[in-house]
Amino acid sequence: MTTNLLSLNNDILLLLVSFLSRGDALKFSLTAKEIYPFAIRQVPTIAPCHNAEQLTKAHAYMLSDIPNRARRLVDLTIAYYRFDSESAILAKDLLTEAAMHSLLFRGFNWSGS
């Protein structure tokens, strides 16, 4: 009897993926749409934002279409001088999602004047 990898229990798939390196997990996540949600959890995201446009794009990417994408955010860096109220709201949203749902989140860095 042959067993298909996709027929394994979700807990077993998560366990198997936990042993993969980041690069291998990324490659594995691209092999089948059913594998993607399990494997992509091993791939951390770092978001350096050097201007308001980058922060807006990071916010839209991390908090849109794919559920729980912000869970992979491990480092958010905002490094630009004009930090207005809209940027503060975007940063708050990202930080809230990342900190609430991720045990991997290392921190937030802000530099500017």
Mean pLDDT of the chain: 80
From the list 27, 5, 18, 6, the residue with the least C-alpha distance to 103 is 18
Q: pLDDT-derived band of residue 99, with 50, 70 and 90 as boundaries?
A: confident
Report the pLDDT value the prediction gives residue 95, as an integer from 0 to 100. 81
CA 29 to the chain's CA centroid: 14
Q: Which residues of 66-105 are buried (b: 16+ CB within 10 A; e: fewer)?
A: eeebbbbbbbbebebeeeeeebeebbeebbebbeeebeeb
Report the pLDDT value the prediction gives residue 65, as an integer from 0 to 100. 63
Mean pLDDT over residues 73-101, rounded? Answer: 78
Is the pLDDT reported for residue 50 higher than 80? Answer: yes
Report the pLDDT value the prediction gives residue 102, as an integer from 0 to 100. 58
This model's pTM is above 0.75: no
